Structure 1
Amino acid sequence: MDIGAIVDENVEASDLEQAARVYQEQARRGSPSALAAFTYAHALIRSGKEDVKLGIVILEGLLKRGTEDIPKRDYVYYLAVAHTRQKEYDRALNYIDLLLNAESHNRQAIELKALIEKRMKRDGLLGLAVLGFGGGAALIAGGLALLLRRH
């Protein structure tokens, strides 16, 4: 599948409802499983703008929590996808660079980085990200690098 299609993919309403139902049911009984949370977050990031924000929050929580069920690289990859959908390209690049630091030959990550940079150029933001967001980006990447190393 084309990387642009992955980033721009929209979830079916029934799939989002099903994922939400499972997540909420588990949340009522305690803490949702990592799989239920990831499935719901994945559906959310393929939905509308506000849903993408909630998906980011859930994925960031999963990344911090760390689980044996799902590799951290999946959380990082989909955080990059979510931020790309939000046109938060600097944050998307931070996540994808973190993934590439751990897995330099990850084809999906390489393709996603190229897409992010292409969209930044299209939107005229590449120079801004390099000049204006470098300091904050370094802090985020440093913290995430520590999380990935622990796993």
Structure 2
Amino acid sequence: MDFKALLKFLRELDKNNSKEWMDRHRKTYHQLRDSFIQWLDGLDTRLAQIDPEYYPTPGKAGINRINNNLMFHPNKPVYKDHLGAGLDKAPKSADFYIQIGIRESLLAGGLWRPDPKRLRSIRDAIDYDGDAFLKILNKPSFKKVFGDLYED
């Protein structure tokens, strides 16, 4: 995966965020997208080797659309400034999310909108083991990598 080429494309897209520009550069977009999917496939294989509970997810199944949904967010640009994908798409389980972008690149993990019973279980576990949880969050080695958590 040529990440420099991807970031260059995303910067140009950000400056010229229109369907007309994308139509003129769609071939380049598809080449970069296909390369990203292949890279995700390699990452998927590696995650499956590391984690016995990992639910393999091909890159093509995990990648997100580059179009913003303007029906619900009409003030957003037509296209996103990043490529993102979710891996480990087992039903009702936590997954990994990876995003490569011009403003933010990240690797994250967690649950998206857990059902009330699961959310209660997570909150109870954090409350029950709150001291251990805070100890991890306040470790200098953790803060060096992840920084402080945002309050939400």
Q: TM-score, normalised to structure 1's length?
A: 0.29
Higher helix share: 1
Point out the structure with the larger strand share: 2
Which protein shows a greater Rg?
2
